[in-house]
Structure 1
Amino acid sequence: MKKLAHSCAAVCAAGVLAVLLFSGCEITVVEQVPVETEYSISGSVVNVRSVTQTDKPDSGSVEVRVFGSATAVATAPVAADGTYTVEGLKSGSYLVTYKDAAATPVWFGVPVSVTVGEGNVSNVGALAFKAIPVGSILLITTWTNTEYDVDSISMVDSGSSVTQVYWDNKTLSVSDGSGVTTVTLERDIKAAAITPSSYPAETTLVESLAAGTELRFYVQLQSLTGSTGSTGSITGLDAGTTSKMPAGVTVYAMYMETLTKAEHYGTWFAPLNTDEGQVAMVSMVGNDDGSLSIGSFGANFAAPNTPRSLLNVNYGVPVKEIR
């Protein structure tokens, strides 16, 4: 009489592959637990204050962490040419930040939000900058659509006059009884410098605002650099054959607390599908003690229940007239 041996394979409801081997009274169960796929984030370290990128970090590391956690989930060294690749990442949302390895850092990283889906993410700029004056704020404008030339505009309102700091008037430095106001558009990138492989960025340095002075920070579509047609939009328009792709604008605020410490004070993302050519992003106010307050554009410096009629603020550029 022959001994019969049977084998079968079944996929369990939980997704675990179980192989059952029957041999007499013996049953062997082998479980193979599925392994979650891992991906990578790669790109280059970008000096946001340099147009030519001839001066940028060629060492240090790039760390990836989850929002709210001080511990990195993965890190990778920066190569001599400024490139990096961070591997071993599961799908999710992360902050990518450059870290200077020196005991006394020369470069300071900006936390960049990156979402990893079902694949590797490439061409991510790990933003960095050298020290700015202590107590200053650096506003960094970046965008992902390299067919657009985006401009940074600061409207500086002292209460008695308003001055625009932009590509044709890059510096404002005034002193009055309320204090000193110094605002500079440091880096104004031109359309010719924007290529598909570049990391467009502009920087505005706010060294001081006199007490009561408000800075309203805008981004504006200046021109088209590619084959998008005759029109474009900062925020884009999802309208079939007449659609306009968004610029993908993000604004970061970095505060220089000490000569060796820079703090991230906010990230603002431009909205989508509102077809606006100019968008208000950030508001800053000079305080009596010489400090600066920074927040989202609008009524953030007033009590939430303050009527709009009592607020001297601009709520942005309307898309359509609503009656």
Structure 2
Amino acid sequence: MSKTVNFRALAIVLLAGMIPSLIAQEGDYQKGLSYYKQGQYQKTIEEFEKIIEVHPDYESGHRILGDSYLKIKAYDQAIEAFQKALELKGDNYVTHYGLALSFFNEGRYREAIAALNQGEDYARSPRDQYQIYRTRGSAYYNMNDFERAISDLQQAVSIQRGNASDVLQLGIAYYRLGNYLEAEKYLQQARVLDPQASGAKRYLSRLQFQGAIEAIEAKNYPQAVALLDEYVKEYPEDGEGRFNLGLAQLFAQNLDAAEREFLKCVELIPRNWEVYDRLGYLYESTKQYDKALQNYRTAHDLHQDPQVQKSVDRLQERIRRSQ
């Protein structure tokens, strides 16, 4: 899973306020504004760089430059322009937010959070507050600070429901903290909102896998078999999943099914000594002593465990006596 959720640069209301009459009369401004409205950001930059050179204290010009650089993913230049705009006018929410997005999209999450914190007092509309919580929550998420991520993302989804990315990150954050009930709730919501997204499906499968492990620990082997059988149908190349299905089948005394899973594990995870140890146990239980000894030896070659050595010695002695 890729943890990072890249926000598309949102349209920022950059043109509010009085335009100095001197600038408004210049062709560069009208041309640059026209380019900006058309989404021709490189040309916008060229025109507004000329304006800023002549009028370095033109705060809106720096803001327009910042957003234009943000749109073309020139984040360092966007940061510089937004910071200059904030030096000239520090109480404009959209400038703080633009700066935060520039830091976020560069992976500079701490700086993004700092920019959002500084701009939070100016986020007065529900839309602005949603942007603060969503972006900051995602920044915390990408830093693996899942408690803070949950706090902000909960606020975000309480303001604006229906964003699959927000709900997915919230579900994964709960999963990473071990709160599986809340994780399942939000992951199911994310899957409904975006049925094509793989993240929700993958983590719901992990929850299913976790439930199967808990069923094995509780000795509820039929439930474990049912859960893991469904899991490996979804992820047939997952060696760990097949190994645990083999264990559940073994403990449920479904020995043929257990053997099939363990042999598949030999193909998928051939360096896992526990697979051979379990095969050794299974073959010993069914009195296939030569196969049991062969698998115990392989297990011991991979992992010099005293208990495995005892199994090797025991089988060697049993075979010797039978000859």
Q: Above 0.5 in TM-score?
A: no
User: Normalising to structure 2: TM-score of the pair?
Assistant: 0.22
Higher gyration radius (CA):
2
TM-score computed with the length of structure 1 as normaliser: 0.22
Higher strand share: 1
| Structure with more helix by fraction | 2
